[in-house]
Structure 1
């Protein structure tokens, strides 16, 4: 099940975000702007809705106003399911379209 056994993560470069952390003595380190952001992009609310079946073909469109590198990951959340990782190979089909001038 999605968000119990696996999740999707989309990373983009260039990107930026404010990330906070803890020091060695467990004191909070103030937000630091990370470039590129080390956190995945926030997925849309419709996708996170439990009524959307993630165990079927899904189409998602990502748009950018400038050049961007994206990385899409299927992340296994529990080591218990690590033996199933081969079933995720070739589970995605990514098609890239670039703008072109009219002819």
Structure 2
């Protein structure tokens, strides 16, 4: 897809980005994001860093015209497993600062 950079003439940089773990995200019709943040072999610290980076990117992408709470709830799940609601008090410090908590 040319919009996401998967069709490109700059093959070297595209491969570099993919190997580095570049992830694109966009909301579905209900405003939900389905984004991988890691694999089973990742440590808790690696998963927290990835989640923090994702949350930062989502909040930075917030349109200026968007009012109110932008990130209302967070659920974590494995690919085919049940979801677990994340308590906003347990979010990384960087995310809490964006949310004003």
What is the TM-score normalised by the length of structure 2? Answer: 0.31
Q: When the two structures are superposed, what TM-score results if normalisation uses the length of structure 1?
A: 0.31
- Asked which structure has the greater CA Rg, the reply is 1
- Structure richer in helix, relative to its length: 2
